[in-house]
Amino acid sequence: MGSLSKQEQVEWEKAEYANVNWDELGFALTKTDYMYVMNFTEEEQKFFNGTLTRFGNIEMCPSSGILNYGQGLFEGLKAYRKEDEGILLFRPQENALRMKMGADRMCMPSPTVDQFIDAVKKTVLANKRWVPPYGRGSLYVRPLLMATGRNLGVKPSSDYTFLVYASPVGNYHKGDLNLMVEDYVHRAIPGGTGGIKAVTNYSPVYKPLTEAKAKGFSDLLFLDALTGSNIEEGSACNIFILKGNVISTPTTHGTILPGITRKSIMEIASDFGYQVEERAIQIKEVFDAEEVFCTGTAMVVKSVASITYQGKRIGYKLGAETLAQKLHATLTGIQTGLIEDKLGWTTLID
């Protein structure tokens, strides 16, 4: 795989949009044109010589740390097209910092914030024709940090690969969001890796998630491993409850991912005049909440239609008048340039 030739660069600059039915986009991989790859070697002791290459399969040693021991992290962020065709990234420096935090926990080197953002920008620009038209989706960007050195023993790798690819996406959850409380399997434990985006955090919940979906539920709501009585988060989203003028969300104390959308929604809600608090939330509290909603890069902000716990189901307010919908409109307005970004959250790609 090589870097872009002059002819290739001309080709993607000429193509305004890819041949995609934007209105049918879900949250699934659509192969785009390019990905970005940068390596860290034991000899260099730094990430260097990052390059754009054609999107495609990669090779690695069967004994690599990512394959054998799951030493890896990923991030997720989005690029949005504005009405004037400009393209915005949303808080990419937050993703870069979170990757660094995760890398420290996983005993891995990480790209600098500047290297991370530069790689994301180059990946988005190289796949510009795959950024959906304004209001019809976004380009989901997935940075990966993987241990790719040869490593038979249980120890940190010597070599690492930072790779960024992208895919146009639509809604993560189509239809109502109905949660089932999982009171047997725990997503994370104190002292573990629940607070970072380690690749090993996700597949262990596939079994209960698959079982829940077979019963008609959209996702799971996990409880804390210590008491089994406090809510934590979904399989890939943070959760909030509304009572009166108070919005509450579980504290990120190492078992809950500090979501960037979560952080942004807390700031927006506070600006709306709501009291926003982070605290332990007992499962029984969700049954007298006025609204419940989830946040995440993939789903943005979405109202929860119902929560089922030990056979008891409670429904919640939905529709245009919900706080969740107002928060969604404000956040996506900022992300797409429709609302002035007074907080410096967006980055224009040029």
Decide if 168 contacts 140 (C-beta within 8 A): yes
**Residue 282 has what DSSP assignment?**
B
Distant-in-sequence, close-in-space partners of 296: CB < 8 Å, separation ≥ 6: 172, 234, 236, 237, 238, 259, 261, 262
Q: Which of 163, 233, 164 is nearest to 195 (CA)?
A: 233
The secondary element (H helix, E strand) that includes residue 295 is strand 291-296
The residue written with tokens 């725990």 in the block is 186
**109, 253, 282: which is closest to 194 by C-alpha?**
253
Burial of 21 (0-12, 13-18, 19+ CB in 10 A): exposed
128 is catalytic: no
- The catalytic residue among 78, 121, 122, 197 is 197
The Cα 301–Cα 155 span in angstroms is 39
Q: Point out which residues pair with 220 in neighbouring strands.
A: 180
Which residues are catalytic, by number?
197
